[in-house]
Amino acid sequence: MGFFSSSISCVRYRVEGRIAGNPTDFVREGLTRNMIREIEDDPADSASGWTSFTDPYQPAFEGDSFVWGTFFVFALRIDRKPLPANLLRKEFSRSSKRRLSETRRSFLSRDEKEALREKVSRTLLARIPPVPHVHDLVWDYENHRLFFFSVQKAANEELEKLFRRSFSLSLIRIFPYTAAELLCGLKEKERDLLAALTPSRLKA
Amino acid sequence: MLDIAVAYQRFRFLGDEFLTWLWHGVETRNESLCALDPEVKGLALAERMVIENREGSKEKITIRGEDPGLEEARIALGRGAWVSELGLSLRTEKQEYRFALKAENLNLCGLKMEPASSFSLEEEAETRLLDRMDQLIKLFEFIDKLFSLFLSERLSPKWKGTHLAYLRRWLSQEESKTPGL
């Protein structure tokens, strides 16, 4: 679901660390270096990378196209190729029979089967078009926060990994404990109390 | 700060307690919660609530619909369950927001909001985005104020004797109002 959808979901992050030099140049370089790679006609089963917010299927980060007001605005795109197990089984069975017939043998060794399965899988993956999943994000650089418009676990994990790789900065997900630590302005004594908290009992 | 993965599990209860406290607050001290932000004119429960008991019977109850009866939820709380997802409706002078908060991670889900002002189709996407972000940030700031208030009460020495006691009393009063109990 994109940022302009009628119903949006959002995960918040705290961005740890600062960029030395010009942030826009640095972010552009990180985005360009980790831009989504097209995997059509390629045996890869998935790919992930940054893409443009406005045109996620033709990523480009020229100039300050990803700077909106005081925010950096772009998207994480994850492309996956669905390879149904039944299809793989069918193609593998056909290829096995063909190989046996060509070699006039009655069986294939375990290594031969494994190599053939890999070959069949790669051939199929090169023919299957990838399904793109686009997840928008807004990076409020000045206030060290990032809003990611997807609550999917896999997408959030990929975001955290790719963000660190692209910008050498850590993302800390906001959940109850980090909200308490990072957003509530606790004093030292309150931090100690928080660390020692145990669950309450509603039942008297 | 603790290791994030450890803290996520160790303090999971904090989100459950926050949403349960929030439900109680919406029903019993609505005006004082709204007063945390001068722009907020109303805060109400919306059409979805999830109650979970992660101990013992491991029950999970999902309540949906406009103006749902919450007796079942209260009974579950009386058995030791907590609110794990809370649907809320928040009204400001200009906007009405409907969304759900998840206890586990404070994720904001299914947020529906009207545009602050009407934009034509040709309107710059940037203007629309900045306007929406402004609304979203204000909404998060209000949620953070609620969470801060909860946390200050939770860390207070009065938590057990006063705040938790209020919660329990509210629950038992509501239970005694429920027909058939």
pLDDT in tens, B54-69: 877 778 889 887 666 7
A183 within a domain of the structure (yes/no): yes
Contact between residue A141 and residue A23 where contact means Cβ atoms under 8 Å apart: yes
SS (H, E, C) B102-151: ECCCCCEEEEEECCCCCCCCCCCHHHHHHHHHHHHHHHHHHHHHHHHHHH
Mean pLDDT of chain A: 94
> pLDDT by residue (tens digit) across B135-146?
999 999 999 999
CA distance B41 to B100: 18
Cα torsion for B5, B7, B12, B17, to the nearest 10°?
Answer: -160
Residue A185 lies in a domain: yes
* Crossing angle of the two packed helices A85-103 and A110-127, in degrees rounded to 10: 130
Residue A20 is assigned to a structural domain of this protein: yes
Q: Is the pLDDT of residue B181 over 50?
A: no
Residues of chain A in contact with residue B12, where contact means CB-CB under 8 angstroms, are: 176
pLDDT digits (tens, 9 = 90+) for A18-62: 888 999 999 999 999 999 999 998 999 999 999 999 999 999 999
Nearest C-alpha neighbor of B145 from the set B104, B94, B90: B90
* B176 or A133: which leads in pLDDT: A133
- Could you tell me if A92 and A177 lie in one domain? no
Q: Which token pair is B176?
A: 């005694």
A-chain residue closest to B139, CA distance: A10
pLDDT of the residue at B84: 95
Number of domains in chain A: 2
User: What is the percentage of chain A residues whose pLDDT exceeds 70?
Assistant: 99
> What mean pLDDT is predicted for residues B104-130?
78
Least confident of A103-117, A128-142, A173-187, B166-180: B166-180
Same domain, A25 and A75: yes
Three-point CA angle B15, B53, A199, nearest 5°: 45
Can you give the pTM of this predicted structure? 0.90
Q: Is the pLDDT of residue B112 over 60?
A: yes
> pLDDT confidence of B74, banded at 50, 70, 90?
confident
Per-residue pLDDT for B175 more than 80? no
- A134 and A41 in one domain? yes
pLDDT at B30: 95
> Are the beta carbons of B50 and B15 closer than 8 angstroms?
no
Q: What is the pLDDT of residue A170?
A: 94
Per-residue DSSP letter, A35: B
Q: What is the DSSP letter of B33?
A: H
Q: Is A165 within a domain?
A: yes
pLDDT exceeds 80 at position B177? no
**Are residue A76 and residue A159 in the same domain, yes or no?**
yes
Q: Based on the fold, state whether residues A133 and A96 are members of the same structural domain.
A: no
Residue A95 domain flag: yes
Together in a domain, A76 and A112: no
Are both A67 and A94 inside the same structural domain?
no
Query: According to the model, what pLDDT value does residue B55 have?
Result: 77
Asked if A183 and B148 come within 8 Å (Cβ–Cβ), the reply is yes
Residue A146 pLDDT greater than 60, yes or no: yes
A73/A171 same-domain check:
yes
Q: Can you give the residue range of the structural domain that contains A136?
A: 11-82+129-195
Domain assignment present for A2 = no
Q: How confident is the model at residue A147 (pLDDT cuts 50, 70, 90)?
A: very high
Residue B178 has what pLDDT?
45
Q: What is the mean pLDDT of residues A134-161?
A: 97
Kind of pairing between the strands at A170-173 and A8-16: antiparallel
- pLDDT value, residue B124: 80
> What is the pLDDT, as a whole number, of residue A1?
58
Output the pLDDT for position A144. 96
Question: Does B144 contact A179 at a Cβ distance shorter than 8 Å?
Answer: yes
**Preferred mutation among B105, B127, B160 to probe A, highest tally of A CBs within 10 A:** B105
A136 with A118, same domain: the answer is no
- Model pLDDT for residues B10-34, shown as the tens digit of each residue: 999 999 999 999 999 999 999 999 9
**Is residue A66 a part of any domain in this protein?**
yes
Mutation for testing the B interface, residue in A135, A175, A201 having most B CBs under 10 Å:
A175
Please state, in angstroms and rounded to a whole number, the distance separating the CA atoms of residues B30 and B36. 10
User: Which one of A93, A112, A127 terminates a domain?
Assistant: A127
Q: Which among A69, A179, A199 has the least Cβ separation from residue B147?
A: A179
In angstroms, the CA B90 to CA B68 distance is 17
Residue A203 lies in a domain: no
Same domain flag for A187 and A136: yes
Out of A3-7, A66-70, B27-31, B82-86, least confident range: A3-7
**What's the full length of chain A, in residues?**
204
For residue A183, which residues of chain B lie inside 8 Å, CB to CB?
144, 147-148
Considering the domain architecture, whether residues A32 and A110 belong to the same structural domain is answered as: no
Query: Nearest 5 degrees, angle CA A17-CA A21-CA A27?
Result: 70
DSSP H helical ranges for chain A: 23-33, 85-103, 110-127, 153-167, 176-183, 188-195
Contact A200 B171 (CB under 8 A): no
Maximal CA-CA distance, chain B: 59
Hey, are the CB atoms on A197 and B171 less than 8 Å from each other?
no
| Spatial distance between the Cα atoms of B139 and B145, rounded to a whole number of angstroms | 10
- Residues A74 and A140 placed together within one structural domain of the fold: yes
Q: What ipTM does this complex have?
A: 0.89
- Fill in the DSSP letter of residue A140: E
Does residue A94 register a pLDDT over 50?
A: yes
Q: Do A179 and B112 touch (CB under 8 A)?
A: no
